[in-house]
Amino acid sequence: SSVSSDHIYKILRDTFGFDSFRENQEEVVQALIQGRDVFTVMPTGGGKSLCYQLPASLMDGTCVVISPLISLMKDQVDHARHLGIPAACLNSSLSARERSGVLEDFTGGQLDLLYLAPERVALADFSSLLQRVKLCFIAVDEAHCISEWGHDFRPDYLQLTELRRLLPTVPLAAFTATATHRVQTDIIKRLNLHDPLVVRASFNRPNLHYAIFPRENILRQIHQVVREQDGEPGIVYRLSRADVDKTALYLQEHDIRALPYHAGLDGGVRQQNQEAFNRDEVQVIVATVAFGMGIDKSNVRFVIHGDLPKNMESYYQETGRAGRDGEKAYCVLFFQRGDMGRLGYFLNQIDNEEERRAGWKKLEQMVSYCERSVCRRHQILSYFGEEYPRDNCGGCDVCTRGVEEVEATTEAQMLMSAIYRTGQR
């Protein structure tokens, strides 16, 4: 089919409110409109949803989106509806009444997007329903879950190997934020993609400088880093709400304009604080990981982690909020091995053994990232299945540790000189 590029840009602006596509989005959108299979690797936060939501909103028929988590689905549906795109989801959390309402809309051709849990696909009555409704294409989100070589294999995703046989004329689009070439090959084979457009965005963020320091007197350490930023905006992440409050207070007492952000604050206050940060009325937002969903402040100059992130995906996403404008920005993590215990405590609450074990493995990978004296960029990229071609990235504490080897000291001056040298390259 032919849809003019003008028309696509009009929808990008009018429906989604964006002036331009991010890297690779337009190619994927075009391919889907032309009815081609697609395989896309894009970092978390890179904008995968738009790649299928935009074509879904302008093509005939419903786009079925397979998504692994009920909570994710709900957010996506709310977001799509907010944009005016008719969307719904089917999963085990719906009441019988809600479910029949969704089915009615779906079979009546009222939906542009239908989010589905993977286990539905192979249910006999449901698959015959899928065959009767007009579909424009099927988007498989978090597609690495289908591969046992990936880090997040989900047996339910194996049902999706039936999609091609059930719906031989419906194009398939796979999306993931992690795929080594081995996983990529596996996904393409298991979904039986036909001559797909393969798009791989690089995960490298060349303007971000990564550094890790041992944590000791954390409030003082955070203050040191913030002070050296000369009033530039930044985000400080803390694990607990209590530590968010404590850190924000400490910074305020030391004449830094800082505000807290976490789920324990009244909704109105939280929004006010977020807006104050967006408008540059305060320098620093101290937050739990609840902060940042959908936020797009481009001039964040630093992100500090006062505690260990739970895995590399979270670390990548949280540090990724720095330097969206392409200008230099700093990512500083204060590491202490003891954090493993705190994070492990949460992991141990997970009932599903498989999920719990996967969580622990990711936590160990996060610790190893901090402890190994290997280029940080190299480690991040290799975690996401990408090779970094240079020996010295020039933008992390390991690579810029100069001739005068810095001892692992927490002396503020040493800390700052290390950060500065990181910045000078």
Contact 338, 307 (CB under 8 A): no
Q: What are phi and psi of 399, to 5 degrees?
A: -75, -25
Tell me the residue length of the chain.
425
Residue type, 268: G
Task: For the segment 47-76, give every residue that binds Mg ion (CB under 5 A).
Answer: 48
For ligand ADP, the binding residues (CB under 6 A) are 18, 21-22, 25, 42, 44-50, 294, 296
Partner whose binding site includes residue 335, from Mg ion, ligand ADP, none (CB under 5 to 8 Å by kind): none
Query: Distance (Å, rounded) from C-alpha 364 to C-alpha 198?
Result: 31
Between 191 and 236, name the residue whose CB sits nearer to Mg ion: 191
Between 167 and 177, name the residue whose CB sits nearer to ligand ADP: 177
Closest by CA to 5, choosing from 47, 34, 37, is: 34
Supply the minimum distance, in Å, between the C-beta of residue 35 and ligand ADP.
22
Partner whose binding site includes residue 47, from Mg ion, ligand ADP, none (CB under 5 to 8 Å by kind): ligand ADP
Partner whose binding site includes residue 250, from ligand ADP, Mg ion, none (CB under 5 to 8 Å by kind): none
Contact 323, 329 (CB under 8 A): yes
Question: Helix (H, G, I), strand (E, B), or coil: what is residue 8?
Answer: helix
Supply the minimum distance, in Å, between the C-beta of residue 46 and ligand ADP.
4
Query: Distance (Å, rounded) from C-alpha 232 to C-alpha 254?
Result: 16
Supply the minimum distance, in Å, between the C-beta of residue 195 and ligand ADP.
24
Supply the minimum distance, in Å, between the C-beta of residue 113 and ligand ADP.
13
Partner whose binding site includes residue 411, from ligand ADP, Mg ion, none (CB under 5 to 8 Å by kind): none
Between 48 and 215, name the residue whose CB sits nearer to Mg ion: 48
Query: Distance (Å, rounded) from C-alpha 288 to C-alpha 260?
Result: 9
Supply the minimum distance, in Å, between the C-beta of residue 296 and ligand ADP.
6
Between 51 and 415, name the residue whose CB sits nearer to ligand ADP: 51
Contact 127, 161 (CB under 8 A): no
Between 24 and 224, name the residue whose CB sits nearer to ligand ADP: 24
> Residue 103: which H helix or E strand, with range?
helix 96-107
Q: What are phi and psi of 189, to 5 degrees?
A: -70, -45
Supply the minimum distance, in Å, between the C-beta of residue 134 and ligand ADP.
25
Question: How many residues at the interface with Mg ion, by CB under 5 A?
Answer: 1
Partner whose binding site includes residue 137, from Mg ion, ligand ADP, none (CB under 5 to 8 Å by kind): none
Query: Distance (Å, rounded) from C-alpha 159 to C-alpha 232?
Result: 49
Query: Distance (Å, rounded) from C-alpha 63 to C-alpha 278?
Result: 34
Question: Helix (H, G, I), strand (E, B), or coil: what is residue 409?
Answer: coil
Between 47 and 394, name the residue whose CB sits nearer to ligand ADP: 47
87 strand-pairing partners: 113
Supply the minimum distance, in Å, between the C-beta of residue 77 and Mg ion.
13
Between 116 and 332, name the residue whose CB sits nearer to ligand ADP: 116
Partner whose binding site includes residue 327, from ligand ADP, Mg ion, none (CB under 5 to 8 Å by kind): none
Contact 313, 44 (CB under 8 A): yes
Between 45 and 118, name the residue whose CB sits nearer to ligand ADP: 45
> Residue 172: which H helix or E strand, with range?
strand 172-176
Supply the minimum distance, in Å, between the C-beta of residue 82 and ligand ADP.
11
Between 271 and 392, name the residue whose CB sits nearer to ligand ADP: 271
The distance in angstroms from the start CA to the end CA of the chain is 49
Partner whose binding site includes residue 55, from ligand ADP, Mg ion, none (CB under 5 to 8 Å by kind): none
Supply the minimum distance, in Å, between the C-beta of residue 141 and Mg ion.
6
Residue type, 409: T
Q: What does the binding site for Mg ion look like in residue numbers (CB under 5 A)?
A: 48
